[in-house]
Amino acid sequence: MVKDPADVLDRQKCLDALAALRHAKWFQARANGLQSCVIIIRILRDLCQRVPTWSPFPGWAMELLVEKAINSASAPLGPGDALRRVFECISSGILLPGGPGLLDPCEKKPVDTLTAMGEQQREDITSSAQVHSF
């Protein structure tokens, strides 16, 4: 086996950086132009920082979910309706094991963006969203 020289970059870190770049390009192309999308992502990020139940929710999965929820609406949504729609999506069980999940559209092979979350964490966020749906 050939050993890499000391000045070679770590392969996994390079792959992670490339994935982050693909995510940023996807966001610019798909989510950035949607009305209310950036606002709702900011609200959910704040929720993840303030409420311990929501803290395990990965940022990339959140961006995907918000884009899917808003983009699938038949008409442009204001911030209030968009937030309600996102909570309704989460309340429906999209995060739960055995559910549809959130696949990464930037990867060639199917990669679930929620693998970092445990089953209980997914259930807690789903339950919390059901309480916040109005």
Q: Domain locations in the chain?
A: 13-132
**Residue that the structure tokens 């490339």 belong to:** 18
Q: How far is CA 40 from the centre of its chain?
A: 12
Give SS3 for 103. Answer: strand
pTM, rounded to two decimals: 0.85
Show pLDDT as tens, one digit a residue, over the chain (134 residues): 667 677 788 888 998 898 889 888 978 877 777 788 999 999 999 999 999 999 999 999 999 999 999 999 888 899 999 999 999 999 999 999 888 889 988 889 988 999 999 999 999 999 999 997 65
Say what the pLDDT of residue 15 is.
84
pLDDT at position 2 is 64
pLDDT attached to residue 120: 96
State the pLDDT at residue 29: 79
Locate 126 and state its tokens.
């789903």
Dihedrals phi, psi of 112, to nearest 5 degrees:
-80, 125
CATH class, domain 13-132, is mainly alpha
- Inter-axis angle of helices 119-132 and 79-91, nearest 10: 140
Residue 87 CB burial class (10 angstroms; 0-12, 13-18, ≥19):
buried
